[in-house]
A = this chain, B = another copy of it.
C-alpha cells in the first residue's frame, strides 16, 4: 500500500519515493559555507550506502553504476547531515569536502557561472580559480581542448 500524503509529508519515517522514480536527485551542500556544490542522483542502493558509510555515494545515470564520490580523485564528501524533502523525492546532504573541490572541472562547486542580468545568453564566472587540474587528477581523457 502506498504511504499517505500525511505519512510522507508530516511523518517521521523515511519513505523515499523509489516507488515513483528509480533514481532521485540529491543536492549536495558544503556544511561549513552553505555553498551548493552539485546535484547528484541516488538509487536506493546509493542512498543506503551513503547512510551506512557516511561517504557520499551517487548513481551515475550516464555510466549506469554506483559511484563513490572521490574514489578516483580522492575528493571525498563526508556526510554530516542527510535530509529529505516534503514529498520525499529529493535528498539534501550537507558534507565536508576532503580536498576542497566537488566539481570534475576543477572548481570547488559545479555552480561557478551565473547568467548576466539583462543579457540572458551570457554567463559570468563567479568562481575564477580551479582547485585542481582535471588532467592531472583524471588523466589526459579529461582534457576538453
Q: Is A2 an interface residue (CB 8 A)?
A: no
Which chain B residue shows the least CB distance to A11? B123
Quick check: A113 and B84 within 8 Å, CB to CB?
Answer: yes
Encode contact with B along A82-120: 1 for CB under 8 Å, 0 otherwise.
111111001010000000000111010011111100001
A113 to B14, CA, bound (A): 9
Interface size class of A (residues with CB under 8 A): 35 or more
How often does this chain occur in the complex, in copies?
2
Quick check: A36 and B39 within 8 Å, CB to CB?
Answer: no
Quick check: A14 and B105 within 8 Å, CB to CB?
Answer: no
Q: Pick the residue among B86, B123, B126 that contacts A13 (CB under 8 A).
A: B123
Quick check: A112 and B92 within 8 Å, CB to CB?
Answer: no
Q: Pick the residue among B9, B39, B123, B144 that contacts A5 (CB under 8 A).
A: B144
Q: Is A38 an interface residue (CB 8 A)?
A: yes
Q: Would A85 and B114 be within 8 Å (CB), given that A12-B122, A25-B39, A121-B13 are in contact?
A: no
